[in-house]
Chains A and B, each alone.
Chain A
């Protein structure tokens, strides 16, 4: 079973601070996705990283895929209250049924005004 470990599990920070969330595995994934889920809603895709070492930016969010495609990080600069939510990483499983995703347990972020 391919597992994804996310850390930290909970994070509470003040508006304007920077933060990094990690997603680690002992398995190689063909690609990795990050989702954000707001209370009472389903997860929404933020980004997909495919190539080892790839860095993608989405406004104040920077996503990086590890060189070995086993880990990823999400860095938020100058966090805003609107960034509050559950951040989930998901790896695309290799092999048959390649449309399945393995999800991490998530990092619950609270940004305090």
Chain B
């Protein structure tokens, strides 16, 4: 069975904190993605990676960075969290077939 796991389901942080969101997939997929999902705005792509140590900006990369040191792990980093980064964060992975397999999401609240 395909499995994408995210390190936390719920996370509460304070403004200015550095936040790490971890995503792990066990399917040997080349491509991994980070999205945020907000009511009325849908899913928006933050960053994606098509190989180890490779990364590309998505539609809304400002305020975020990513790291992919191993094929199975893709991390999203908020260098200095702000209240407008309160959101649901979804990680996905895909092979070359373009189907994306999503994790359960991390609901991040920044106070």
A binds B: yes
The 10 closest A-B pairs by CB, nearest first: A42-B102, A105-B42, A103-B43, A99-B31, A43-B102, A45-B99, A103-B42, A42-B103, A42-B90, A42-B104
| Closest beta carbon of chain A to B41's beta carbon, Å | 7
- CB-CB under 8 A from B94, the residues of chain A are 99
Sorting the interface of chain A by its residue count into under 10, 10 to 19, 20 to 34 or 35 or more gives 20 to 34
Distance of A41 Cα from B106 Cα, bound (Å): 9
Known: A100-B48, A105-B40, A105-B42. A44 touches B102 (CB 8 A): yes
Report whether A99 and B50 are in contact in the complex, using a CB–CB cutoff of 8 Å.
yes
Residues 73-108 of A contacting B (Cβ, < 8 Å): 88, 90, 92, 97-101, 103-106
- CB-CB under 8 A from B45, the residues of chain A are 100-101
Q: How many contacts A-B (CB < 8 Å)?
A: 55
A110 within 8 A of B: no
Report whether B92 and A42 are in contact in the complex, using a CB–CB cutoff of 8 Å.
yes
Interface residues of chain B, those whose CB is within 8 Å of chain A, are: 4, 9, 31, 33, 35, 40-45, 48, 50, 56, 58, 90, 92, 94, 96, 98-105
| Closest beta carbon of chain A to B55's beta carbon, Å | 12
Residue of A nearest to B97 (CB): A48
Distance of A7 Cα from B103 Cα, bound (Å): 26
Interface residues of chain A, those whose CB is within 8 Å of chain B, are: 31, 33, 40-45, 48, 88, 90, 92, 97-101, 103-106
| Closest beta carbon of chain A to B78's beta carbon, Å | 20
Distance of A22 Cα from B48 Cα, bound (Å): 28
- CB-CB under 8 A from B104, the residues of chain A are 40-42
Partner of B42, one of A45, A92, A100, A106: A106
- CB-CB under 8 A from B99, the residues of chain A are 33, 45, 48
Residue of A nearest to B56 (CB): A97
Distance of A98 Cα from B100 Cα, bound (Å): 12
| Closest beta carbon of chain B to A32's beta carbon, Å | 11
Residue of A nearest to B59 (CB): A1
